[in-house]
Amino acid sequence: PFKVRAGWLAAIVSGQERVRAGLSIDVPVLCLMSARSDLSTAWNEDMRRADTVLDVERLASAAIHLGAHVTVARIDGGLHDLV
């Protein structure tokens, strides 16, 4: 099982805060994500075709803070960590 360590969690929170504040990336950015999330607590077959870890709507909203030229591509049936 995956152990959540304080340093790992602190790095995630810090990174999310930096993105929220804006990164001003000056080259084109491509964000790939699943077309949908399924954050159900009990297994269902739809989980085979969705991100079961992250809320893709929040990801897409956060993507606009990466830079001036951002493309968000939603992949139908995409899972967590597409690439």
* Spatial separation of the C-alpha atoms in residues 34 and 55, rounded to whole Å: 9
* Backbone region of residue 3 per phi and psi (left: phi > 0; alpha: psi in -120 to 50; beta: other values): beta
Measured distance CA(11)–CA(40) in Å, rounded: 26
Check residue 83 and give its pLDDT: 64
Taking every pair of Cα atoms in the chain, the longest distance, rounded to a whole number of angstroms, is 41
Cα-based angle 51, 77, 11 (whole degrees, multiple of 5)? 25
Q: What percentage of the chain reaches a pLDDT higher than 70?
A: 99
Low-confidence ranges of the chain (pLDDT < 50): none
Q: What is the pLDDT of residue 56?
A: 96
State percent of the chain over pLDDT 90. 82
